[in-house]
């Protein structure tokens, strides 16, 4: 299988378990790793046979900005679900960094799921 990485997607979201975190969106930085098959794109040279990185980035950014989660783990699950529902991928890995969550440290969550796992079959 083939992979696409989209790194350092800057976005904002209302996210956190503490009340003060619900007052305004906080910055997040995301990385996506998308597994798919580019065999057709190798010969067609057509975007329809590949993944539209710009569309995926805009979709994920829009989803995050409209979301309201307590946990970045739950946001990661929401992103994985969104990508799988809208794009032909077999596996999605997402890294979410919440730069302002900790003092003198960086909170990061990494999650990966296959389409089969998300359908509850694995």
Residue 121 has pLDDT above 80, yes or no: no
Residues 41, 57, 8, 116, CA torsion sign: negative
Give the model confidence (pLDDT) of 1-39 as tens digits: 999 999 999 999 999 999 998 999 999 999 999 999 999
Residue 82 has pLDDT above 80, yes or no: yes
Q: What is the CATH number of the domain that holds 34?
A: 3.30.1130.10
> How much is the average pLDDT of 98-104?
93
For the chain, what is the domain count? 1
Structural domain for 92, as ranges = 2-118
Give the model confidence (pLDDT) of 31-78 as tens digits: 999 999 999 999 999 999 999 999 999 999 999 999 999 999 999 999
- The pTM of this model reads 0.94
DSSP code string of 51-105: --HHHHHHHHHHHHHH-EES-HHHHHHHHHHHHHHHS--SEEEEEEEETTSSSSS
Environment class of 42 (CB within 10 Å of its CB; exposed 0-12, middle 13-18, buried 19+): exposed
């Amino acid at each position: 299988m083939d992979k696409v990485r989209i790194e350092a997607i800057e976005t904002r979201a209302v996210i956190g378990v503490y009340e003060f975190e619900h007052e305004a969106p906080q910055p997040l930085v995301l990385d996506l790793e998308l597994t798919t098959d580019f065999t057709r794109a190798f010969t067609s040279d057509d975007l329809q046979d590949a993944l539209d990185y710009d569309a995926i980035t805009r979709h994920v950014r829009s989803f995050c900005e409209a979301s309201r989660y307590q946990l970045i783990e739950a946001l990661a699950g929401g992103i994985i679900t969104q990508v799988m529902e809208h794009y032909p991928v077999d596996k999605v890995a997402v890294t979410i960094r919440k730069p302002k969550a900790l003092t003198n440290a960086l909170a990061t969550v990494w999650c990966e799921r296959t389409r089969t796992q998300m359908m509850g079959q694995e």
